[in-house]
Amino acid sequence: MKNIFIGLLFAMLWASASVATKFGILSAPPLVLANIRFFIAGMVLLSIGYVFNRSYKLPNADEWKHLAIFGLLNTTVYLGLYVCAMKYTAAGIGSLATSTNPLLIVLLSSWLIGRKPSKEEVFSILIGMIGIGIATYPLLKDSSTTIMGVSLLMLSMVSVSFASVYYARVKWTLPNILINGWQVALGGIFLLPITFSLSDFSSIQVDSRLIFSSLWLSLSVSVIGLICWFYLLKIDTVKASLWLFLCPLFGFFYAWWLMDEPITMYTVLGTLLVIFGLYLGQRKNLTAKTKKQ
């Protein structure tokens, strides 16, 4: 029961990032919002890590290198592009695209580490992409989503997939909380020059909307959400990924409830295709896991 609660909490929090971002960029430029999120989340994660376990040490030279690369891909590029994409993309589409990350990891793994994908995995990627296209189609017509927004969103998904493959290839000795604390903090530092170059700071409105969005993204999503995710991964990697199936459902619900985004037959069909694609990509692992048990 405890694991089910944590899985539901993860899916609910993870899916809320798109809507929280949409609210936040109404009060601040996207990259400014991103930097606020990164530094708050990094500070909290590192404080929890070092305060509650005094035996934790600072990363060594080799670990700094891995953290910098991981932070650049997973935070600077991925979330930097993602938050910019949300300016031109409906919140529901942002949540739907995020759930395709496991499918892209399969594709990139075949290229980077020579892991040949199965026919089911290839079909799962194609079905997932078709699902996103179908869900996006009516939103392109009413201008709530643009080609630029979808392009930035997909580039961000490619970056986080690269980051995930890189993370899996590194033999980490640091605890998860420090890995994420340092990578998000370093990612924020790498993003700062771009933020200062491209953002209009005069447009920032320090209001309740910006404060709540920043705190929600940094504490609820980046801290609590990630703690839940790594707890689930520690128990069972395959079963943990199944909770991603719920993210599009929660994401479209939040978008409809909080932002009045329409739920159409295109939305339903596209979401079902993405969920089916995710299931198809994970079915082999699930079957193997069941047989072992």
Query: How does pLDDT run across 148-159, given as a tens digit for each residue?
Result: 998 999 999 989
Question: What is the tally of structural domains in the chain?
Answer: 1
Which residues form the domain of 165?
2-292
Question: Does residue 116 have a pLDDT over 90?
Answer: no
**Cα–Cα dist 190/276, whole Å:** 37
**pTM of the entire predicted model:** 0.86
Q: Which of 18-32, 95-109, 187-201 has the lowest mean pLDDT?
A: 95-109
pLDDT at residue 188 in the model: 97
Average pLDDT of the residues in 104-121:
68
- Checking if the pLDDT of 144 tops 80, the result is no
pLDDT value of residue 104: 73
- The C-alpha atoms of residue 38 and residue 219 are separated, in whole angstroms, by 10
Is the pLDDT confidence value at 244 over 80? Answer: no
Q: Are 119 and 293 in contact (CB under 8 A)?
A: no
Query: pLDDT value at position 199?
Result: 97
- Cα distances (angstroms) measured from residue 123 to each of 99, 102, 134, 170, 248: 16, 13, 16, 29, 19
Q: 226-235 and 2-15 helices cross at what angle (nearest 10)?
A: 140
pLDDT in tens, 175-211: 989 999 999 999 999 999 999 999 999 999 999 999 9
